[in-house]
Structures are given as C-alpha cells and as structure tokens.
Amino acid sequence: MSRELFDRWRLLAASFRDSDAGARASERLGAAAAPALEVLVAACADDLGVGPRDLDGERVRELLSRFLPARLGGGESYVVEMPDLVEEFLLHAVSEEPGVSPFEIVSAVTAARGDFEAAMADAGRERRGTAETRTPYKRPGAKLGRNDPCFCGSGRKYKACCAKLMDP
C-alpha cells in the first residue's frame, strides 16, 4: 500500500463524514460509524490498492465478497449495515473524484450483498491478521555485540574482524 493512496482514501472518508450521506450513516450506525469507516478505508487502500478513479464493478464486488469479510470478525455491531455504508461511501468517493459511474457502483453493491452475507456466515473464511494477532519478530539467537568474539572463529573481537569487512 502506498502512503499516498491511503491518505487519499482517508481524505475522502473525512469529507464523507462531513457530507449529508455521512451524517445519515452516523445517525444509523451511532458510535460504530467511525470504526466501520476505518475498516472500509483500510480495505480500499490496502486490499483493493486502487484509487476511486480506478474503481469498477468487479473491484467493488471483490471488496464486499472477499476483502471486507476478511477484515471483519462478525461480531461487530455494524456488519449488517456494511453494504449500505460501502455504497454510500463509494458514491461519495466517485462524486469527489469521478471515474466509474454511480450506476455501476450501485449495481455492484446490489449484486454482491448476497456474497457478503454468505462470506460473513462462513466461519472458515480467510482472515486478515490484525495488530493484536500478529507476533513480533524475534531474533533467533543473542545479538552479536562489537566486543564479542567474532562468529567466524578467528578468536578476535567482532569489531576488529568481520565488522571491518562490512564497513565500506
């Protein structure tokens, strides 16, 4: 994901929140509106990997049927409302940055609603890891210090042996 693409989607999300459609979504979703929009922005930027100008019906269907179900656990309060939020947000996005026709977005969301519901009902669906589920990288052994004996077996300190070879 490029930072520029992520920032573009976030700006669109901010303008969506200030729009009439965003206000309606906030009324409908309440406090869950912000996390739902964050999940949607992350899926658009990370998983789709395209800007709003490059959207098409197939990508919108893939967003609903594959990427969003992978990012959602299923217990979120906004899962039922997600297809409506996707439609409203993407319609706002293409009104800000014209590309695909609004009709194509509405048609794609309508066609993918059943796929989204089926994917959310599937307990064995592909899941995208969250920050809480990822394990941090751990070095396989102890860190080699500059004053430790060199790993090559020469008996000299690392700083006087192989470390000199690595310095230009």
pLDDT digits (tens, 9 = 90+) for 112-157: 888 888 888 887 777 775 444 556 667 777 888 889 999 888 999 9
d(CA 126, CA 120): 10
Q: Say whether both 93 and 159 belong to one domain.
A: no
Q: Say whether both 25 and 96 belong to one domain.
A: yes
Q: What is the pTM of this model?
A: 0.70
Q: Say whether both 158 and 111 belong to one domain.
A: no
Query: What is the model's pLDDT at position 131?
Result: 44
Domain that holds residue 87: 3-121
Decide if 126 is inside a domain.
no
User: How many domains does the chain fold into?
Assistant: 2
Q: Say whether both 76 and 153 belong to one domain.
A: no
Asked whether the beta carbons of 87 and 105 are under 8 A apart, the reply is yes
d(CA 114, CA 61): 10
